[in-house]
Chains A and B, each alone.
Chain A
Amino acid sequence: MQLKIKNLHVSYGNIKALHGINFSVEAGEIVTVIGANGAGKSTTLRAISRMIPSEEGSVIEFNGENILKYSADKVVAKLGICHVPEGRRIFGNLTVTENFILATFARKDKNQIKKDQKWVFDLFPRLEERKDQLAGTLSGGEQQMLAVGRAYMSGHKIMLLDEPSMGLAPILMLDMFEALKEINRLGTTILLVEQNARLALKFAQRGYVIENGELVLEGEASSLLDNPDVKKAYLGA
């Protein structure tokens, strides 16, 4: 088990966002968590990457190591857990290249960085064409590519993806998921949260359904696609 989450509780002030969720991800898997807006999808990812604190008693382990003892930057730098946050959060005042340099801030393996950079540029040739441009001037699709590529450069044992389809035209969305498949094929585990449940379940091997801060269903992605409750609630059929 690469990523193991047990009894994860998170609150924002007095509002409870996660009520003790449990799930796990195997190395090399593509797993998705689907659910409505505000169900706790982003909160789950933010808790894993330590952007927000988890409550006492929560357990998050990565390869058997307790993540909760690390700060957000160490989760990336030491454990190789990268996070593509909701809304991309690229640094618009930096060039594309500078965004990449920043992503490798804590890395010392210069040669591997070069190889990773080349690989990312091969995956997203548009970014190489625009490498000296300010990231804020990129189109939405290109910004999403940068967010994914940058996360990959920061560490890529597992990639946490928060709504990578958001705001993308359907054709760009498919391209993006093709690229993500390529990243996974090279050995990066993927944990994806999506509102676009159909897209996510077609892409993933396994899935979980989250409602009001609790996981209510889990199973093979294909079986969730056929599940009548899921169909009714999330697939609009």
Chain B
Amino acid sequence: MDYFLQNLINALQWGSFYAVISIGYSMVYGVLMVFNFAHGDIFMLGTYIGFAIATLFIAVFSALLPTWVIFAAVVIITMFLASWIGVFVEVVGYRPLRQAPRASAAITGLMIGIIFETGILIFLGAKRLSFPPLMESHVYNIGGVYFTNIKVMVIVISLILMLALHGLIQKTKWGMAMRAMSFDFLAVPLMGVSINIIAPLTFAIGAGLASVAGILYGQAYPILDPYMGVLIGWKAFVAAILGGRGSIKGAAMAGYLLGFIEIFVAMVFPSTFRDLIAYSIILLILTYRPRGFFGMEYSTKLRL
């Protein structure tokens, strides 16, 4: 039982990364009906930005400010900066191709991703960097279940982010515009709403979320390298599709499911078998539920 609870916490943490990242895929798909295949590398770049800000802040302020202030400042500043990567990807990569065939828009993301990876490789070299700890790690033991404050923080901050996003999408006019775009893209400008504001905003939110996931990831697994976004990006993409294209709720839930399956498979089988078995299970789920958990029931035929 202890062993089970232990893995439950691990799964929640691991699933949090997938959930927060997969939302970025889902939002962009919901609003623009394209997959942003640069998203995994946006996560990577966001982690590097978080790394730079964290290193700077720890060097300058660690004697002056309490830990949690530094942590909050790093998260907020990184989120702000990383969201501009999202804007960049939309404006440079996707906007010129809005009228283009879907496949062209898809490879745009792939290419931008490769450009980001190579860019980091050229400017920072191939050596792996280590994400500085933003807080001291403590191990707690409750009834035989061991967990660190880092794990709790990853889980809690991810939940806060997702709740905040939910509020933004449900309660603000920008969120309404995003939902409206997912229903009928072409009618949105008739409301006086500029697609050229809502589209980059959507990319920006996805990128901002991914960058916070990057900081959290850096706290749990403090190694940075230019290709760190590839596999986790693909897996988050799997979660986005499994959740149902365009469904944010679905993406988050599928992200957690992925985390659970991976962790619990590793609990039973040797860890080298983890992805093989985990993704076979997901393939099986998709076979029986091809539209994912919350596949869009409505969608207009009239798209760009």
Contacts and interface: CB of A to CB of B under 8 A. Distances in A.
Interface of A: 49-51, 71-74, 76-77, 82-83, 85, 89-94, 98, 101-107, 136, 150-151, 154-155
B176 A89 contact: no
Interface centre among B182, B183, B189, B195 (most CB of A within 10 A): B189
Interface string B54-69: 0000000000000000
A92 B193 contact: no
Contacts of B196: 71
A79 B298 CA distance: 32
A93 B193 contact: no
A85 B190 CA distance: 9
A51 B192 contact: no
21 contacts: A72-B190, A73-B188, A73-B194, A73-B195, A76-B191, A77-B192, A89-B184, A90-B187, A91-B179, A91-B183, A91-B184, A93-B179, A94-B180, A98-B179, A102-B188, A104-B192, A105-B192, A105-B193, A106-B192, A136-B298, A154-B190
B135 interface: no
Contacts of B191: 73, 76, 102-103, 105, 150, 154
A103 B180 CA distance: 11
B298 A107 contact: no
B177 interface: yes
Contacts of A85: 187, 190
Contacts of A89: 184, 186-187, 190
Given A91-B179, A92-B183, 14 more contacts: A49-B190, A71-B189, A73-B191, A73-B194, A76-B189, A89-B190, A91-B184, A98-B176, A103-B191, A103-B192, A106-B192, A151-B190, A154-B192, A155-B192
A37 B173 CA distance: 36
A76 B184 contact: no
Across chains A and B, which 3 residue pairs bring their CB atoms closest together, nearest first? Answer: A72-B189, A77-B192, A76-B192
A102 B186 contact: no
A136 B193 CA distance: 21
B190 A51 contact: yes
B190 A76 contact: yes
Contacts of A106: 192-193
A82 B182 CA distance: 21
B177 A105 contact: yes
B186 A51 contact: yes
A89 B302 CA distance: 10
Contacts of A73: 188-189, 191-195
A102 B193 contact: yes
